[in-house]
């Protein structure tokens, strides 16, 4: 699938964030890179990018991105970049002779919108436009958005000033080369080389069709839109299906704030995972010192480590750094961290009263924690729908209990609670998985 991206404009309304709009970092990743990565997820693999303002800088970035993503990127320079957007589209006429995606370099979107476009039949001479039918979309700038009137899948009218509208232009098109002819006709007849003018020309012949969508998209055109996009992307990190109650209501809201800062630095998710592990080791060391104030401090550090542990996955998703290896390393470090935390807590209790029962309870807490983690993968897959409706027993609860036990100076009681909860939950999972799987 070929994909044409318009990246010729200057973007003066976003100049406070960067001189070249398409290269402005949005949560650590340039906007145009987010567009290209979303297009790749949507099925595109052959890109044509029309550059203009500061074209050499944009071109240099895209050449490096092409190597990183292993996708073809053909650069097309538009020296008349101050003209309307349709003029940039016309620059690609000699390069593309088959159906193609047409995207804007400042429109961030869910790849599912592209996939929905590709599912629709596209006849020769037609153009499909993804139309947002949520006219109350809070991400839309009503003063600047292009409005659309659709009926029975056909576009009847399009423009920024029309009053009779029932959707918004998302800036995501699936085009045949007919778009080039329509642009020339619009220029010749109406002296208008905007994309909207070309769509109106095609609409007259019922060759402009719509695909209704309610998916995430936003035109990052000014500072207000930038902040909205940032918030929407951060909000999307909350409410993971396998988050426990502590992660959902305490850890995640805080870790997202850290991630918002961390994405702006050259820090990898694996480095964040290791930092969280080191914090857990420090907490365990404090537990073993046998003093309440060190115990309480260790509990606070352990909970902080649990919060930071959420940032590795968040940064990975925001910066497209997710990998199976990274997830596996994080899980391994978590198991080591849990073992040291519980052993440190056990050692504290044993050093206070020298009771052999403390060693036994601590052993059961460690084994139960390991078994709960070991059974998590199969259980989560089998019980996905039920977990979303109920409470998931996971590491977040375990570390939070350690934190409470340390701060409240009730380490023995908490060890017993963890030992019972973890092992009972493991047995319950075994029974449920036997019945359902």
Could you tell me where the DSSP H helices lie in 23-148? 31-41, 55-69, 85-90, 111-118
Residue with tokens 């008349």: 80
CA distance 149 to 243: 41
- What pLDDT does 45 receive? 93
| Nearest by Cα to 127 from 62, 206, 226, 37 | 206
Tell me the Cα Rg of the chain.
Answer: 27
- What pLDDT does 109 receive? 96
- What pLDDT does 430 receive? 86
- What pLDDT does 383 receive? 62
- What pLDDT does 436 receive? 66
- What pLDDT does 433 receive? 78
- What pLDDT does 344 receive? 96
CA distance 30 to 269: 19
- For the chain, give the percent of residues with pLDDT over 70: 96
Look at strands 100-104 and 2-7 and give their pairing: parallel
- What pLDDT does 385 receive? 54
Enumerate the β-bridge partners of residue 158: 148
Q: What token pair was written down for 129?
A: 């436009």
For 141-157, b/e burial (b = at least 16 CB within 10 A) is eeeebbbbbbeeeebbb
- What pLDDT does 241 receive? 63
Q: Which long-range contacts (CB under 8 A, 24 or more apart) does 73-80 make?
A: 73/36, 73/47, 73/48, 73/49, 74/46, 74/47, 74/48, 74/49, 75/49, 75/51, 76/48, 76/49, 76/50, 76/51, 77/50, 77/51, 77/52, 78/8, 78/50, 78/51, 78/52, 79/52, 80/52
Residue stretches of the chain with pLDDT short of 70: 239-241, 381-391, 436-437
Q: What token pair was written down for 413?
A: 């009681």
- What pLDDT does 345 receive? 95
Domain over 238-436 is classified CATH 1.10.287.110: no
- What pLDDT does 435 receive? 72
Domain boundaries, the chain: 2-226, 238-436
* Superfamily covering domain 2-226: Spore Coat Polysaccharide Biosynthesis Protein SpsA; Chain A (3.90.550.10)
Maximum C-alpha span of the chain: 93
- What pLDDT does 391 receive? 64
């Amino acid at each position: 699938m070929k994909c044409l991206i318009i990246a010729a404009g200057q973007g003066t309304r976003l100049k406070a964030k960067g001189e070249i709009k398409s290269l402005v970092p949005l949560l650590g990743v340039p906007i145009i890179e987010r567009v290209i990565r979303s297009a790749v997820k949507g099925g595109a693999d052959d890109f044509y990018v029309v550059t203009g303002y500061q074209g050499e800088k944009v071109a240099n970035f895209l050449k490096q991105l092409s190597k990183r993503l292993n996708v073809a990127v053909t650069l097309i320079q538009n020296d008349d970049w101050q003209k309307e957007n349709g003029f940039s589209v016309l620059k690609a006429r000699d390069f593309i002779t088959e159906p193609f995606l047409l995207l804007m370099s400042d429109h961030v979107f869910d790849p599912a919108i592209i996939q929905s476009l590709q599912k629709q039949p596209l006849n020769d001479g037609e153009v499909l436009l993804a139309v947002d039918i949520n006219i109350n979309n809070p991400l839309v700038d009503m003063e600047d958005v292009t409005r659309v009137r659709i009926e029975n899948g056909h576009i009847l009218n399009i423009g920024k000033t029309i009053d009779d509208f029932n959707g918004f232009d998302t800036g995501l098109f699936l085009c045949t080369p007919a778009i080039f002819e329509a642009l020339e006709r619009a220029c010749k007849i109406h002296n208008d080389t905007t994309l909207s003018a070309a769509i109106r020309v095609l609409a007259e012949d019922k060759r402009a069709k719509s695909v209704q969508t309610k998916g995430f998209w936003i035109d990052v055109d000014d500072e207000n839109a930038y902040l909205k996009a940032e918030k929407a992307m951060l909000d999307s990190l909350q409410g993971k299906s396998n988050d426990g109650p502590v992660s959902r209501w305490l850890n995640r809201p805080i870790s997202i704030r850290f991630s918002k800062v961390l994405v702006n630095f050259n820090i990898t998710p694996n480095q964040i995972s290791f930092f969280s592990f080191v914090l857990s080791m420090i907490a365990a060391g404090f537990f073993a010192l046998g003093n309440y104030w060190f115990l309480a401090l260790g509990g606070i550090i352990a909970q902080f480590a649990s919060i930071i542990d959420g940032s590795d996955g968040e940064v990975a998703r925001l910066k497209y750094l997710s990998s199976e290896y990274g997830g596996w390393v994080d899980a391994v470090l978590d198991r080591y961290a849990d073992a040291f935390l519980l052993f440190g807590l056990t050692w504290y209790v044993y050093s206070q009263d020298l009771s052999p029962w403390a060693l036994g309870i601590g052993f059961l807490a460690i084994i139960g924690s390991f078994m709960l983690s070991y059974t998590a993968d199969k259980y989560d897959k089998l019980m996905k729908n039920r977990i979303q409706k109920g409470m998931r027993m996971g590491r977040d609860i375990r570390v939070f209990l350690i934190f409470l036990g340390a701060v409240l100076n009730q380490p023995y009681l908490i060890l017993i609670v963890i030992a019972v909860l973890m092992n009972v939950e493991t047995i319950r999972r075994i029974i449920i998985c036997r019945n359902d799987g």
